[in-house]
């Protein structure tokens, strides 16, 4: 009888020890055996190696696919919209061009030696009545243009009197096609940096006729020296983008006989929302700038050419 009781006590003690051991196991995290690679392993089932039935304490941040996002570049440099032209001569040269309306004339261009590797813009200079400055201002225009990374061009009016505003609409088409169909096809230029400059009758033509019809093709700017009236056309072609981007800079003298037209031109283009700069010197007659046309063009081109 005593032996049975001792055996019962021993059995109860062993069972108690077993339950205590089970409780200790439950209190500890279970370890999952690492599966050996094989046909059914996680790697062969499209799961990452080492994945199993348990999850790690923390999960990786996959919102950026494990990469650090690159911060945006502040004010990136705009990529030039180039014309893709080729074959034009380097250095100083003179060419002729005939537009689709039959208008024909010549132009002089000064192209830097590195123009086949470097992207330049363009500054198109339109002379005063008679056209004398077509030749003598050619190098001055080219040198000033180069300070703004522009190629200098002078163009002579395609009519007998060498007056741009005579039959101005036809002359405007000639200038536009000369740029688009001749110069941009011969040279790889930045099409967003094509600027214009005029003296006296050339300025009259630019604001009175050319810019209202074709200015929106360029979205750049123009320098108006001793001239530049209000729009002579019935309408102004181009939308808000053209008006916001096209810059105009007038320079004139107090006793210039064209000053009343200059003042009307400034007021008109301001009223349309254009960016306008102006400099009216208190002395001087028509086109009599201190330092000459070179100083006037250099001063005002810096205001419109980016």
200 φ, ψ to 5°?
55, -110
Residues 41/45/47/53 CA torsion (nearest 10 deg): -50
Q: Torsion over CA of 253, 255, 259 and 260, rounded to 10 degrees?
A: 150
- What tens digit of pLDDT does each residue of 128-138 get? 999 999 999 99
Number of neighbours of residue 80 by Cβ within 10 angstroms: 15
> Within the chain, where are the H helices?
2-27, 133-136, 138-146, 168-178, 184-186, 201-205, 211-214, 240-245, 259-271, 292-304
CA distances from 276 to 78, 272, 279 (A): 24, 10, 10
- The pLDDT of residue 65 is 52
The phi, psi pair for 253, rounded to 5°, reads -120, 160
Instruction: Quote the pLDDT of residue 219.
Output: 85
* 108-124 pLDDT tens trace: 999 999 999 999 999 99
In angstroms, the CA 221 to CA 243 distance is: 10
pLDDT at position 201, please? 98
**Residue-level pLDDT at 80:** 64
CATH architecture type of domain 98-304: 3-Layer(aba) Sandwich (3.40)
Sheet holding 221-225, edge to edge: 91-98, 104-111, 150-155, 120-126, 189-199, 221-225, 247-253, 275-281
Q: What is the pLDDT of residue 306?
A: 82
pLDDT digits (tens, 9 = 90+) for 179-217: 999 999 999 999 999 999 999 999 999 999 999 999 999
Query: Which pTM value belongs to this model?
Result: 0.75
pLDDT of residue 51: 40
Would you state the pLDDT for residue 50? 40
Distance (Å, rounded) from C-alpha 256 to C-alpha 284? Answer: 7
Q: What is the pLDDT, as a whole number, of residue 62?
A: 45
Cα(126)–Cα(118) distance, integer angstroms: 25
d(CA 188, CA 82): 6
Helix 292-304 crosses helix 138-146 at what angle (to 10 degrees)? 30
> Is residue 166 packed enough to be buried (19+ CB in 10 Å), middle (13-18) or exposed (0-12)?
middle
Query: What does the pLDDT profile of the chain (306 residues) look like in tens digits?
Result: 434 344 443 333 333 444 344 343 444 444 444 444 444 443 334 444 444 444 344 444 444 455 444 444 454 555 669 999 999 999 999 999 999 999 999 999 999 999 999 999 999 999 999 999 999 999 999 999 999 999 999 999 999 999 999 999 999 999 999 999 999 999 999 999 999 999 999 999 999 999 999 999 998 999 999 999 999 988 899 999 999 999 999 999 999 999 999 999 999 999 999 999 999 999 999 999 999 999 999 999 999 998
> Is the torsion defined by CA of 127, 133, 137, 138 positive or negative?
positive
The full set of domain ranges for the chain reads 98-304
Write down the mean pLDDT value for the chain: 83
| Structural contact between residues 264 and 111, judged by C-beta atoms closer than 8 angstroms | no
């Amino acid at each position: 009888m005593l032996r049975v009781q001792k055996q019962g006590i021993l059995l109860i003690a062993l069972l108690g020890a077993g339950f205590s051991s089970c409780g200790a196991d439950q209190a500890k995290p279970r370890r999952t055996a690492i599966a050996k690679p094989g046909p059914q392993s996680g790697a062969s089932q499209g799961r990452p190696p080492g994945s199993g039935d348990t999850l790690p304490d923390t999960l990786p941040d996959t919102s950026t696919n494990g990469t650090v996002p690159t911060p945006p570049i502040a004010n990136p440099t705009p990529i030039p919209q180039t014309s893709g032209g080729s074959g034009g001569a380097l250095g100083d040269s003179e060419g002729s061009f005939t537009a689709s309306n039959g208008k024909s004339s010549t132009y002089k261009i000064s192209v830097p030696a590195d123009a086949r590797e470097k992207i330049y813009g363009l500054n198109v200079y339109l002379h005063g009545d008679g056209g004398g400055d077509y030749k003598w201002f050619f190098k001055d225009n080219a040198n000033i243009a180069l300070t703004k990374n522009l190629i200098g061009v002078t163009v002579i009016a395609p009519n007998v009197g060498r007056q741009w505003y005579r039959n101005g609409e036809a002359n405007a088409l000639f200038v536009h096609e000369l740029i688009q169909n001749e110069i941009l096809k011969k040279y790889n230029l930045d099409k967003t940096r094509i600027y214009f400059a005029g003296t006296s009758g050339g300025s009259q033509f630019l604001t009175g006729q050319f810019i209202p019809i074709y200015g929106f093709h360029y979205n750049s700017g123009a320098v108006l020296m001793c001239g530049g009236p209000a729009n002579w056309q019935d309408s102004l072609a181009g939308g808000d983008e053209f008006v916001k981007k096209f810059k105009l800079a007038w320079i004139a003298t107090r006793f210039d006989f064209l000053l009343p037209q200059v003042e009307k031109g400034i007021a008109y283009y301001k009223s349309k929302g254009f960016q306008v700069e102006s400099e009216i010197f208190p002395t001087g007659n028509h086109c009599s700038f201190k330092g000459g046309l070179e100083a006037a063009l250099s001063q005002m081109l810096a205001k419109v050419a980016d």
